[in-house]
Structure 1
Amino acid sequence: MSDDVARLRLIRSDNVGPVTYRQLLRRFSTPQAALDALPDLVRRGGGAARIATAADAETELAAVAKFGGQFVFIGTGLYPWLLAQTETAPPALAVKGDLGLLERPCVAMVGARNSSAAAVRFARELATELSQADLVVVSGLARGIDSAAHQGALDGGTIGVIAGGLDNVYPPENASLQASIGASGLVVAEQPLGTSPQARHFPRRNRIIAGLCAGTIVVEGALKSGSLITARIAAEAGREVMAVPGSPLDPRAQGCNQLIREGATLIQTAADVLEALGTVGGQIGGRLLSPGTAWDPGPVALDADDITRDHIIGLLSPTPVAIDELVRQSGCAAATVAGVLLDLELCGGLVRHAGGRVARA
């Protein structure tokens, strides 16, 4: 319990994101040691940040337990392996339901909220067939395709990843579906209990959906939709991207058709999905990625003197730049650059972008 309290305190402290959390644990070995070092690191970065208290963390842990859920933390045995291989994997997830589903091979199914009746029927039937093939169907508990996917896979196993807190239901009409998933499937949330979903939470939810799974299926989706964001995240993580073709006259099919043009696997049946996933890493599910392909958080951060620190910070601007480029231009060791970036992020002066890029806040 004390270790859980320290882990939750660390991630709930200001400016500690997924990358920073992992770097702090690598540098200080334990969450408590990282917490003990945090005030000095923040001061050295030239700022001030709120550090979550033990009482706050204990209260949140107790509230989640009272709701019937629990936390799983990255770096522990319960945390899903495939998700942990992604750069921005959430350090803490609140979950409710059957944790055994996290050990089974998963496939994501996403699509339009304002989906056509034909697409809803297809998604529901496809999800049923995939669950009968022992795949866990993962989606976002939204209207339309998401809801159909969960309904089709409810008996075989489904995971609903929500944008708000574990106790939040959105949209409201999915209250009974979310309750059913919490009873026989698994509901997953990154946000603290009591959080209502906001626009910025949905892309964060999408990265969890894609990260949990060996592949992502898009059933219907417009060219600029959250479904295509999920597909892009899956592709960047080296996962299989699959799409169901549709009429070129239907705007809801344009995103899927574009994905197929760009190389996504065309899907018409459950057999197509199983064949596509079987080609990724030679097998489906938990050990999708071969040794050496997991995300590398970089070297353990080292302290820098004031001159070196100012030199590295001077190379940063509001335009994102690759950390490797900072190492090259600064002439400093990668571990030294990592230490300066860590200090700067903890005081709110750094923004991390996809692909290992950083910028001044």
Structure 2
Amino acid sequence: MPVNSVKNRLLHIHYSHILSNKQLLEWLSLDPSLTSWEKSSSPFWPSALKLSSSQKIRLQDYHSSTCIACAINQLKQKQVSFITIFDNHYPPQLKEIYDPPAVIYTKGNVNHLNASYFLGIVGARKADRYTISSLQKIIPPLIDMNICIVSGMAQGADGAAHQLAMNGFTIGVLGAGFDYQYPSTHTKLYEQMIKSQLLISEYPPYLRPDKRFFPSRNRIIAGLSRGVLVTQAALRSGSMITVDRALEEGRDVFALPGPIDHELSQGTNHLIRQGAVLITCAQHIAEEWGIR
């Protein structure tokens, strides 16, 4: 690929993390080849972007100090690959969402993105034995059906889902760059995922974890998946935000029923009342998706 290709120009701008994803997508809609970025030694951008003065100054400084090849070499040194929205192997279901990530950074086996079925699994970070035992029952048969498990690498339900899917296919979606293993208790899980599974992030490697990033991560979990399974969740939680994104994108929502007096069952029981599919075994998901 030529260094000055549109894919690399897109990476170059994205790597700066000066623009929001929505601003970058808007730039692409106004200038699909991004020639305005590399047309001269002093870049310009469509006036319709309405960038702040700070963004303009920072873009000018970044353009003069960091070349395209520099950004690419930094990724190579960190053993991080990238996929742009222009690439044929960019997940088609993710491209369909309202604000698809313009660039995805990856570590591990990108062939996982070619799976036929993706199931997002979300739940409480303080998941109890009920979540763990339920996933122990549900995930192995899903793996036998070649369903790829997508989750967020957080403590609790996420970590359990990834661990139980190690004999099959699982994708971890990060809320930070690859330089930071968050949470730190998942260092071994990170290593396992990179070795045999797949980790992805829409954030350049140098970006630290930030609570503002996690809702955006949740939209990718929902966007990649055909459906999302909620194990346990309070009524106000990140899992419920993921469900909102799944519903906005027309994805299926599945939920485990729980005790009526348990705080972490309030969210899932509410979802079931609102029409989510009640799940007690893997076969229920297979039936919904017509998998035999």
Matched, 1:83 2:94: yes
TM-score, normalised to structure 1's length?
Answer: 0.72
Identical amino acids, percent of aligned pairs = 30
**Paired residues, what number?**
280
Q: C-alpha separation between the residues in 1 aligned to 2:88 and 2:49?
A: 34
Structure 1: stretches of 5+ with no match in the other structure:
285-361
1:276, distance to aligned residue in structure 2 (A) = 2.2
Q: Report what 1:326 is aligned to.
A: none
Q: Please, which of 39, 43, 50 is the counterpart of residue 44 of structure 2?
A: 39
Q: C-alpha separation between the residues in 1 aligned to 2:252 and 2:238?
A: 17
Q: C-alpha separation between the residues in 1 aligned to 2:131 and 2:157?
A: 7
Structure 2: stretches of 5+ with no match in the other structure:
none
Checking the alignment, whether the CA contact within 8 Å between 2:4 and 2:68 is kept in structure 1 is no
Residue 191 of structure 1 aligns with an amino acid whose one-letter code is Y
Q: Report what 1:219 is aligned to.
A: 231
Checking the alignment, whether the CA contact within 8 Å between 2:81 and 2:107 is kept in structure 1 is yes
Structure showing greater radius of gyration is: 1
1:15, distance to aligned residue in structure 2 (A) = 6.1
1:126-178 CA-to-partner distances (Å, cap 9, x unmatched) read: 22221211010000011111011001111101000111102311111111111
Matched, 1:53 2:38: no
Cα gap change, 1:194 to 1:29, in 2 (>3 Å): closer
Q: Report what 1:233 is aligned to.
A: 245
Checking the alignment, whether the CA contact within 8 Å between 1:124 and 1:151 is kept in structure 2 is no
Matched, 1:254 2:266: yes
Q: Report what 1:288 is aligned to.
A: none
Q: Report what 1:29 is aligned to.
A: 32
1:281-303 CA-to-partner distances (Å, cap 9, x unmatched) read: xx89xxxxxxxxxxxxxxxxxxx
Classify the secondary structure of the residue corresponding to 1:136. strand
Checking the alignment, whether the CA contact within 8 Å between 1:95 and 1:189 is kept in structure 2 is yes
Q: Report what 2:185 is aligned to.
A: 173
Q: Report what 1:134 is aligned to.
A: 146
Classify the secondary structure of the residue corresponding to 2:44. helix
1:317-357 CA-to-partner distances (Å, cap 9, x unmatched) read: xxxxxxxxxxxxxxxxxxxxxxxxxxxxxxxxxxxxxxxxx
Q: Please, which of 51, 54, 74 is the counterpart of residue 63 of structure 1?
A: 74
Checking the alignment, whether the CA contact within 8 Å between 1:246 and 1:257 is kept in structure 2 is yes
Alignment RMSD (CA, Å)? 2.3
Q: Please, which of 169, 172, 176 is the counterpart of residue 164 of structure 1?
A: 176
TM-score, normalised to structure 2's length?
Answer: 0.88
Cα gap change, 1:40 to 1:153, in 2 (>3 Å): closer
Q: C-alpha separation between the residues in 2 aligned to 1:89 and 1:44?
A: 18
Q: In the TM superposition, what are the counterparts of 1:165-204 in structure 2 within 5 Å?
A: 165-204=177-216
